[in-house]
Structure 1
Amino acid sequence: MPITLEKPAAKIVGMGCLPHDQGVAFRVWAPNAERVALVGDFNHWDESATMMEAEDNGHWYANVAEAEIGDEYRYLIFNGDMKLSRIDPRCREVTNSVGNSVVHDPHFDWEGDKFKMYPFNELVIYEMHVGTFCCDTKDKPGTFESASRKFEYLRSLGINCIQLMPAAEFAGDYSWGYNPAHIYAVESAYGGPHGLKQMVKLAHQHGLAVILDVVYNHFGPSDLHLWQFDGWSENNKGGIYFYNDWRSSTPWGDSRPDYGRQEVRSFIHDNAVMWLEDFHMDGLRYDMTLYMRSVNGNDDTSIPEGWSLAQWINSDLHARFPGKLIIAEDMRNNNWLTKPKEWGGAGFNAQWDAEFVHPIRDVVEQVEDQYRSMFKVHNALCHKFNYSAFERVIYSESHDEVANGKSRVPSEIDEKNPHSWYAQKRTVLASAMVLTAPGIPMLFQGQEFLRTGWFDDTRPIDWHQEKEWRGIVRLYRDLIHLRLNKTGITAGLTGQRVEVHHLNDNDKVVAFRRWKEGGPGDDVIVVANFATNEHTDYRIGLPRGGTWKLRFNSDSTHYSDDFDNTKVVDLVAEEHPYDGQPYSATLQLASYGILVFSEDKPTDK
């Protein structure tokens, strides 16, 4: 028996599955379909029971009073001799990537969540892969719930922002996430939409912002129900959601979305809005925007409509969700990405900085000291986009930098013994540059306890290493607390300004000043030795007289029993001009050591 369709006074607005008080409405875009049937638990999967109504612009609609939250369903699309069974492109939940759409429950108790994103200059980001971050068993990936158990650990470390690798439904249960099969559905193996919301709520309660990685440069290619969705295609390409000519080609498959088609633009735009509106995300990180704005990474194959799509999404997100952080991964040193739309820019707040990570890794991974270039260190410290340090995200490890033929920094330094003295020392040196340079610093999961090897989505974090290397974890904690000015004496590390006033390429030493407004409690002096040689009575310039107190010494045995515990004392500035500064002092400098000094704030009298 055909099911009775309820026809309320006005149709429900929106796309996909739309639960409401009198049932569930459904709307799907299939412009080449001759007819569309809705099948599911609510009509016993009878393809003759619920025929959808054709609307303008290729949309099909049905409102089903009998449909309930939790029901599984699909669309049957008829085109000529083809009968295509499709998962809803906009469904928020699926049984799995090749299973069925699920009528999601839009209700969730956020318990009054009003979390406010931190100022960008006060962020320390921790990139996390849910499937490997915290696993309960060896035969299943980690979940949102298991990852949440480490929030207290992250806060004690000083982290205040998590960046999740993609959590949209992908093929299978194990993946980096950069092969989205259903961009609106939350990965079922991780815990689905309810699990993600619960994780975000708990993160906010722990003072952790959450940024989500999204993939709009391609879809799939596996388990991709969008492919030839309504039966139409040209050149045997992907059909209505994709380019059907040479522009479809990407490094990940022949599945670049058609950024010039309004329905596809809205599909991607609405997805970005969904993450911030419905899931309370504090920002987004777009995967490899280079392949949204060009076909093959070259200017002669640019895709103007991909650029304009990013402009539209970003400007709308900034207007609707002020203060959220929108990041691009582009890796081409392009200032226009972080310029505002009204200037012709793409409107991102920040972008991953290849001009930092690659030179810093190169310098610490060189086998011999003589090949470490302090000029590369200088340029990495001073690089900015559009004159703003906080338009860049800086790091020494990320999911990309520790895979694809590359390993974690300790393993790159000493493949046979990645926990050797050399590997510990130079890994710390790279991370200290991340946490003392101007920019938004980011760590990759496990970096803080010398995780080795390369990133693999089937190789979970071994949390026994966190206890084994608790001293190195303490080192990261101390640096992060200085970076965030927790004690009010290193405000300069949250500032824009940097001056590399000492560069000694012969001895491989740099010293730089960081400041926000300047003055005691603000100015910070960082001294770094990129060589094995120790130095006694090494002179560096200082901007003022007085006592510059030692805030951090990476060579302390508090951090590792393998370190040398070189004795360093506070600096008493001499009226001895040096390095272009009016004052100077001498210090002890350990092999591959880094020191941080600042002045106490003057006390009120």
Structure 2
Amino acid sequence: MGATLHDGGCTFRVWAPHADAVAVKVWPAAAPVTAVLARDTAEGYGNACWSAFVPGVVAGTDYRYVVTDGARTTEHVDPVALSVVYPNWSPATRDDSDARGVVTGQAFVWASPFQAPGWRELVIYQLHVGTFAMGVPGGATTVSHLIGQLPYLQDLGVNAIQILPFTEFGSALSLGYNSVLPYAVERDYGTPDDVKRLVDAAHAHGLAVLVDVVYNHVNVDDGGRLLPYSLFAFDGWAPASNPCGIFFYGGDEMATPWGAPRPDYGRPEVRRWLRDNALLWLEEYRADGLRFDSTKCIRRRQGPCGDQCCGGDIGVGRNYGWELMQEITDAVEARQPWKITIAEDLDGDAALTARTSAGGAGFDAQWDASLGGAVRAALTQPDAAKVDLDAVAQAITGPLGSDPFARVIYVESHDEAKARRLPDAIAPGDAEGWHARKKSMLAAGVVFTAPGIPMLFQGYELLDWRPWSDVVPMDWSRAGRFAGHRRFHRDLIRARTNADGRTRGLCGSSVSVIGANPDTKVLAYHRWDQGAGADDVVVIANFSGTTFPSYQVGLPYPGTWYVRINSDASVYSDAGDFAATHCFDCVADLVAWDARPWSAAFGLGPYALVVLSR
């Protein structure tokens, strides 16, 4: 489908089942040329397509379809256009009435062979194109400008970036979740080749790239203004029961809390359109995985619960949204099984990551907010006696089934950062003070040492406390002002990825809670991969403001246990106000403690995290 270049010209093919005639208008020069398309067939679309070969068309040529249905003739941007231009647009007029697709070529030369890290070592950094590089002097809101910040991420130690959606949206600024044309790169962010250059550069810096895709709705308007380049009533068919046309549902299946309309998953052609979009990012752009926005709103109708999709299944007798997800994950599994698919569902439903052969949706992982939520609740609880360590311990062990790497865990995602960032929630009015710094480190420390795939949202490592939006750029001055805070997160990530070869247990799937003391508010847990004393790690987290000069902890094995991280260390304080509680390497004694045969005593600072290994 779409515009396919050949020697001497281009084939245009489009799905328009109700059209009486279709033509393509191309702009090889100032004046357009129109070519008539003939009825055609295409895999997945049956005989409802139209196509024609147009000689003389080259990469960079603008084009638009002219669709006739009865007495109605309208012009439309290609539903699979990879790039869009607006010849009449200016900042003053914002005239998008003459929107056109752009024929794109295959001339990009990839320079960086890449093997993504294994999912056990994966550490994700979630970022937004329009704000991540904006704060750099001379910074811009383009994917190309992101390339200049890749060394920063490489040095931080993350090995994957998850980019908020960057496909064409109708508003001047956006978080990315109001896409109008899911195949087209947002014009203000760059071109398809710019995205490829970003992916290639990320790979050269050892960073996998995960693309955030939105299939629960596709916008056709901007603040109530119908966008002339949207897919609204694409081929003229738009009955009162389904005014948005062939790509979308009508009735009570049309709306979602995040926008409307919802794609019509009941149509095999629409499912194919979305499936091929997912494969485009993985194959044409060489992305290393996909994050699927609000899969709950793909599989369920909007319900009475307000901002969630808690109604019935999408479809009558069949859940077509579920089938869409299965078709996409099956296609990825068949073609590039090493690439990760992640669902943002937030219902904790293990069926999302069950294999499709067992009736599951087939995702490799799903977002799990339970651990981050329990940690945030504990660290923002003003009454120390009410800190619920059991909730944190239960969330560490994971509710989503037997595979801990089937969940992505985090303190903040873009959603939490929009509402209220953790440092401000911890210490309102003093979000850069001692409590905010100590507790923010502890929160990240617990999440990054628990089983799962950890994720940071941009700026967390710099103690950014401002509510985030698409007009709040990264404050890069904080990289110097909070160098100690950043250093802690760098060291934490190195421990999580076993970069120094001493904390392999954090890459393992096993965890056992050693103790969750309701009186001291100290939580300890054991992590291992192969175990048997070979790669074991013990984590001690003090959720209290008390300093313990000598805190006894049960240990799984004898021998010397070395302190790999102590968040109370002075090097992590940017104000010289950490206690630097002495926490030394210790030899385990044959003294039973916490139901373990060995134990040792360690110094434990207030709100401190200590990571030990043999």
TM-score range, shorter chain: over 0.9
Aligned to 1:95: 85
One-letter code aligned to 2:216: N
The answer on whether the counterparts of 1:332 and 1:354 sit within 8 Å (CA) in structure 2 is no
Aligned to 1:226: 231
Alignment partners' CA distance in 2, 1:409 and 1:538 = 28
The answer on whether the counterparts of 1:221 and 1:252 sit within 8 Å (CA) in structure 2 is no
Alignment partners' CA distance in 1, 2:168 and 2:54 = 26
Q: How does 1:174-323 map to 2 (within 5 A)?
A: 174-222=173-221, 223=227, 225-234=230-239, 235=241, 237-296=243-302, 297-298=309-310, 300-303=312-315, 304-323=319-338
CA 562–82 in structure 1, closer or farther in 2 if over 3 Å, else same: farther
Determine whether 1:409 maps to 2:399: no
Aligned to 2:347: 332
Aligned to 1:55: 40
CA 377–136 in structure 1, closer or farther in 2 if over 3 Å, else same: closer
Task: State the secondary structure of the residue aligned to 1:280.
Answer: coil
Determine whether 1:397 maps to 2:412: yes
Alignment partners' CA distance in 2, 1:102 and 1:488 = 49
Alignment partners' CA distance in 2, 1:489 and 1:520 = 12
Q: How does 1:458-497 map to 2 (within 5 A)?
A: 458-497=471-510
Aligned to 2:360: 345
The answer on whether the counterparts of 1:136 and 1:146 sit within 8 Å (CA) in structure 2 is no
One-letter code aligned to 1:162: I
Aligned to 1:369: 384
Q: CA deviation digits over 1:169-199, x for unaligned, max 9?
A: 1113421111111111111211120110000
One-letter code aligned to 2:21: R
Q: Which runs of 5+ in 1 are unaligned?
A: 1-14, 600-605
The answer on whether the counterparts of 1:37 and 1:52 sit within 8 Å (CA) in structure 2 is yes
**TM, length-normalised to structure 1:** 0.93
One-letter code aligned to 2:245: G
CA 221–451 in structure 1, closer or farther in 2 if over 3 Å, else same: farther
Aligned to 2:90: none
Aligned to 2:403: 388
Determine whether 1:83 maps to 2:73: yes
Alignment partners' CA distance in 2, 1:95 and 1:127 = 28
1:582 to 587, 592, 597: 597
Determine whether 1:107 maps to 2:107: yes
Alignment partners' CA distance in 1, 2:242 and 2:453 = 44
**TM, length-normalised to structure 2:** 0.92
Q: What is the deviation of 1:236?
A: 5.0
Alignment partners' CA distance in 2, 1:553 and 1:419 = 20
Q: What is the deviation of 1:245?
A: 2.3
Q: Which runs of 5+ in 2 are unaligned?
A: 42-46, 87-95, 222-226, 303-308
Task: State the secondary structure of the residue aligned to 1:188.
Answer: coil
Identity of aligned residues (%): 40
Q: CA deviation digits over 1:493-535, x for unaligned, max 9?
A: 0000111111101221100000011144511111111011222
Q: What is the deviation of 1:242?
A: 0.5
Alignment partners' CA distance in 1, 2:37 and 2:172 = 33
Aligned to 2:455: 442
Task: State the secondary structure of the residue aligned to 2:158.
Answer: coil
Deviates more, 1:69-78 or 1:96-105: 96-105
Determine whether 1:155 maps to 2:169: no
Q: How does 1:135-174 map to 2 (within 5 A)?
A: 135=134, 141-174=140-173
Alignment partners' CA distance in 2, 1:347 and 1:243 = 24
The answer on whether the counterparts of 1:448 and 1:476 sit within 8 Å (CA) in structure 2 is yes
1:70 to 52, 60, 65: 60
Aligned to 2:92: none
Q: What is the deviation of 1:375?
A: 0.6
One-letter code aligned to 2:234: F
Alignment partners' CA distance in 1, 2:85 and 2:436 = 45
The answer on whether the counterparts of 1:520 and 1:598 sit within 8 Å (CA) in structure 2 is no
Q: What is the deviation of 1:108?
A: 0.6
Determine whether 1:40 maps to 2:40: no
Q: CA deviation digits over 1:310-362, x for unaligned, max 9?
A: 11110111110121010000000100000111111111000000222211211
One-letter code aligned to 1:102: V
Deviates more, 1:70-79 or 1:211-220: 70-79
Alignment partners' CA distance in 1, 2:37 and 2:415 = 45
Alignment partners' CA distance in 2, 1:34 and 1:141 = 45
The answer on whether the counterparts of 1:489 and 1:521 sit within 8 Å (CA) in structure 2 is no
CA 205–173 in structure 1, closer or farther in 2 if over 3 Å, else same: farther
Root mean square deviation of aligned Cα: 1.7
The answer on whether the counterparts of 1:39 and 1:45 sit within 8 Å (CA) in structure 2 is no
Q: What is the deviation of 1:253?
A: 2.9
Q: How does 1:454-603 map to 2 (within 5 A)?
A: 454-520=467-533, 522-560=535-573, 561-599=576-614
Alignment partners' CA distance in 2, 1:137 and 1:345 = 44
Q: What is the deviation of 1:415?
A: 2.2
